Structure 1
Amino acid sequence: MAKSDTTSVNRKSDIISAAIAIFAEVGYFRATTAQVAERASISQPYVFRFFATKEALLLAALEASWNRVIESFRKVVETTAPELLETELVQEYVNIQMKYENEMLLQMQAQTIRETAIQQTMRSAYKEIRDLVLTAFRDAGVENAEERSMLFLARGVLCNVAVAINLPELMKG
């Protein structure tokens, strides 16, 4: 890859990272591309070089955040003994929450945005995670794999709420 191509990829990544932070801090609807540009230390027109709209930027930010979760879960599934799978997946999600809290807050916000493309992105991501976990649980011989998968996802959502509202008691149990 040529140096300018590498620089473009890095700048696009910087813009997505800045967008995740800004959207998490002030909310998608209150956030501006000018704020994202300032956080990324670039000009606002440069943001539009990569993303035609703020919605396109949000979609890229969501894709990056969901890909992190999906790839992390895939690694756990590929490297964990069946009897430890559920415990290790839970621990991996806790690690992701702690390290990438803004991404989790972004995903939570996106659940309430009614635009079709955003809803489709959220549906696809949840479906992919559910299918990944369900298949892994079935392959590992987890009893009631469907119910355990649903409870795993529900626990993740509850943990997100607990972190977002600073109520850690919700995660105990």
Structure 2
Amino acid sequence: MSKKEAPSVNRKDEIVSAAIETFAEIGYYRATTAQVAERANISQPYIFKFFPTKEALLAAALEASWERIIASFRRVVETAQPEQLESELIEAYERILADRSNEMLLQMQAQTIPSDVIREEMRKGFRNVRNIVLDAFRHASIPHPEERTLLFLARGMLCNISMALDMPELMEK
């Protein structure tokens, strides 16, 4: 099956992937749906079959990026021993940064976009990650789970900045 004949579910995923890459590299405001379409090897009007607006496309891209982080953290929570939980969550996030840096760049940009839809997608993602980590820390009887969760999230933000600015020294211990 050629790329033009791919089922529409796959096309939607391909459009979201193209949007993640395009928005991360060019910036949401500078990127156009024509550039996303070109990257996805489709016509621009085809994007609007799935997403009524550029903002809706960004929201879908953010949702996909958060889903990957959450799935990664859930796998760790399900398998890690309590004494290894935090370090395995950190390792999982470092793998995400290495494998999906454009998704993190996209999320960093989205934090500055004054749209209720985008802000809600970001709040939902952060809330879900926080709850997964906090519940896991509580279940593992990690002392001061709220504080440890706060530090874990802060470390994640510092990891994002370190990656975005190409400053690995920010993460040196």
Is the pair's TM-score, using the shorter chain for normalization, greater than 0.5? yes
> Which residue of structure 1 lines up, in the alignment, with residue 129 of structure 2?
129
Residue 169 of structure 2 is aligned to residue 166 of structure 1: no
Alignment of 1:104-123 (within 5 A): 104-123=104-123
Matched, 1:151 2:147: no
SS in 1 for 2:112: coil
Partner AA of 2:34 in structure 1: A
Match of 1:3 in 2: none
Q: 1:155 and 1:168 mapped to 2: Cα distance?
A: 13
Aligned to 1:30: 30
Residues 1:78 and 2:105 are matched in the alignment: no
**What is the total number of aligned residue pairs between the two structures?**
169
SS in 1 for 2:7: helix
Stretches of 4+ moved more than 4 A in 1? none
Q: What letter is aligned with 1:31?
A: A
User: What root-mean-square deviation, in Å, do the aligned CA atoms of Structure 1 and Structure 2 show?
Assistant: 1.1
TM-score, scaled relative to structure 1: 0.96
Counting only pairs closer than 5 Å after superposition, residues 3-42 of structure 1 correspond to structure 2 as 7-42=7-42
2:3 corresponds in structure 1 to none
**Residue 153 of structure 1: CA displacement?**
0.3
TM-score (norm 2): 0.96
**Cα offset, 1:110, TM superposition:** 0.3
Paired letter, 2:91 = Q
Sequence identity (%): 61
Query: What is the CA distance between 1:16 and its match in structure 2?
Result: 0.4
Instruction: Report how far residue 172 of structure 1 moved.
Output: 1.4
Task: State yes or no: 1:99 paired with 2:84.
Answer: no
Deviation at 1:171, TM superposition (A): 1.1
Report deviation, 1:115: 0.4
Work out the CA distance in 2 between the residues paired with 1:171 and 1:58.
29
Distance 1:70 1:42 in 2: 30
Q: Which runs of 5+ in 1 are unaligned?
A: 1-5
